[in-house]
Amino acid sequence: MSLPPDGHVHTEWSWDTVTGSMTGSCERALELGLPSVAFTEHADLTPWLIPAPVRPLLPDHFRVRLRPDGVLEPPDLDVAGYLACVEECRARFPSLRILSGVELSEPHWHRPRADALLAAHDFDHVLGSVHSLPGDDGHHHEVTVVSDPPAEVLRAYLTEVLGLVESTADFAVLAHIDYALRSWPGEGPPFVAADFEAEFRTVLRALASSGRALEVNTKVPLPGEVVRWWFEVGGDAVAFGSDAHEPGLVGHGFAEAAAMVEAGGFRPGRTPHDFWRR
Ligand SMILES: [Zn+2]
Ligand SMILES: [Zn+2]
């Protein structure tokens, strides 16, 4: 079976990506035989507080974005420069289907900015993401299960993702529903999907009725149960995304992910670059 398209790749046009390369990512996609690749650069709309002990440890390209109060303010995406680069790659790699895209961070909190960005540009592929949560101190915080009990962070994350999915924010694919699992501690009780079945199903049901697609993000392996629940609640479409921030990770883990999604009841779409369907 051929590999699915990679619908979630970052390049040098994402502010947090120093190892990115659009050209290199196209070459890697061709090498792997991927039918298409979508460059979904960050439009990070929410500034978030970096805890004081972490600030000196930040890489330079993060530290230069720090305000004096310790809040990290991501820069705007240079859409014109980015889209020009997409055009260059399309000309250079005509056998690869290259989609333009954007990953909107918490667009439901920033409707005027998110709506204006999408109105001004014709992106092929729009992801909706949650990366941060509101804290008690009036700031937003990166989603991490390091400081708080992991189960609590995951539940808070899924509650916010539900808010995103239930909103009318304009995006076609829910990115990384399992984002909070990336920092699940190696020590202590392991993650058990069944413990969070009700919370996942609530999000998945809302996603299905919104008509949007579920992304299987391969940065960490998505528990197969989530895809099965997506099928059971009537979910229609599955997108695959490596979330690569360097060319070597384009299509990472896709063979395993495709097998898992197929076991969950989904099949490749009518064309190789389509979403997978039930
Ligand atoms: Zn993301
Ligand atoms: Zn991403």
Where is average pLDDT lowest: 93-107, 134-148, 229-243? 134-148
56 Cα: distance to centroid of ligand 1 (angstroms): 23
Average pLDDT over residues 99-104: 98
**pLDDT digit string, tens, across residues 1-49:** 689 999 999 999 999 999 999 999 999 999 999 999 999 999 999 999 9
Q: Fill in the DSSP letter of residue 19.
A: S
131 Cα: distance to centroid of ligand 1 (angstroms): 6
Domain containing 157 equals: 6-277
1 lies in a domain? no
221 lies in a domain? yes
The SS3 call for residue 225 is helix
Reported pTM: 0.96
% of residues, the chain, pLDDT over 90: 91
pLDDT of residue 110: 97
Q: What is the CATH number of the domain that holds 183?
A: 3.20.20.140
pLDDT of residue 146: 58
Average pLDDT over residues 246-273: 96
Beta strand segments in the chain, E: 6-9, 36-44, 48-49, 71-72, 97-105, 125-129, 132-134, 140-142, 173-174, 213-217, 237-241, 276-277
Q: Which ligand is nearest to the CA of 176?
A: 1
pLDDT of residue 84: 98
107 lies in a domain? yes
Q: Which ligand is nearest to the CA of 41?
A: 2
- In the block, tokens 């014109």 appear at 80
Side chain identity at residue 146, one-letter code: V
Domains of the chain: total: 1
Average pLDDT over residues 110-125: 97
129 Cα: distance to centroid of ligand 1 (angstroms): 6
**pLDDT digit string, tens, across residues 178-213:** 999 998 988 888 999 999 999 999 999 999 999 999
What does the alpha-carbon distance between residue 113 and residue 199 come to, in Å, rounded to a whole number? Answer: 29
Beta strand segments in 177-267, E: 213-217, 237-241
11 Cα: distance to centroid of ligand 2 (angstroms): 10
**pLDDT digit string, tens, across residues 135-183:** 888 999 988 755 678 999 999 999 999 999 999 999 999 999 999 999 8
Buried b (16+ CB within 10 A) or exposed e, 34-44: bbbbbbbbbbb
Residues contacting residue 256 through CB under 8 Å, at least 6 positions apart:
218, 221
pLDDT of residue 156: 95
218 lies in a domain? yes
235 lies in a domain? yes
pLDDT of residue 86: 98
13 Cα: distance to centroid of ligand 1 (angstroms): 15
243 lies in a domain? yes
pLDDT of residue 157: 96
Q: Which of 44, 43, 41, 45 is nearest to 11 (CA)?
A: 41
Q: Which of 48, 44, 158 is nearest to 103 (CA)?
A: 44
Q: How is residue 224 written in tokens?
A: 């197969």
190 lies in a domain? yes
124 Cα: distance to centroid of ligand 1 (angstroms): 17
